[in-house]
Amino acid sequence: MEKDYRYLATHDALTGAKNYLAYQEGVETMGKGNYSVVRVNICGLKEVNEKYGRTTGDMLLCDAADVLMSVYKNVYRLEGDDFVVHLGITEEKALLAMEDECVRRLLEKQKGFPFDTDGSFVYFGYGVSDGKKSYRAVFDKADEKLNESREKVRQIRRANAVRAMRKEGSIERKKPTEEDLRKKKKDFYGDVFGRLLRNVAFGALAMWMWMFIV
Task: Return the pLDDT at 19.
Answer: 95
* Residue 36, in any domain of the structure: yes
Spatial CA neighbour of 47 closest among 71, 14, 70, 81: 81
Phi, psi (deg, nearest 5) at residue 18: -65, 150
* Residue 173, in any domain of the structure: no
> What predicted TM-score, i.e. pTM, was given to this entire model?
0.69
Residues 9, 91 within the same domain? yes
Number of structural domains found in the chain? 2
Distance of CA 44 to the CA centre of its chain: 9
Instruction: Report whether 27 contacts 15 (CB < 8 A).
Output: no
Query: Would you write out the chain's pLDDT as a tens digit for each of its 214 residues?
Result: 666 788 899 999 999 999 999 999 999 888 778 899 999 998 878 888 888 788 888 888 898 999 999 999 999 999 889 999 999 999 999 999 999 999 889 888 877 666 655 545 788 999 999 888 899 999 999 999 998 887 876 676 666 655 665 565 544 444 445 665 566 555 544 544 555 555 545 455 445 555 555 5
Task: Return the pLDDT at 188.
Answer: 46
What CATH number should be reported for the domain holding residue 123? 3.30.70.270
Task: Return the pLDDT at 111.
Answer: 73
Residues 127, 24 within the same domain? yes
**Rounded (10°) angle between helices 54-71 and 92-110:** 140
Distance of CA 9 to the CA centre of its chain: 31
Residues 84, 183 within the same domain? no
* Residue 201, in any domain of the structure: yes
Task: Return the pLDDT at 59.
Answer: 86
Residues 163, 183 within the same domain? no
Residues 206, 160 within the same domain? no
Task: Return the pLDDT at 192.
Answer: 43
Residues 148, 73 within the same domain? yes
Distance of CA 185 to the CA centre of its chain: 43
Residues 161, 86 within the same domain? yes
Residues 14, 35 within the same domain? yes
Task: Return the pLDDT at 67.
Answer: 94
Domain that holds residue 106: 2-168
Residues 66, 162 within the same domain? yes
* Residue 148, in any domain of the structure: yes
Spatial CA neighbour of 17 closest among 48, 45, 40: 40
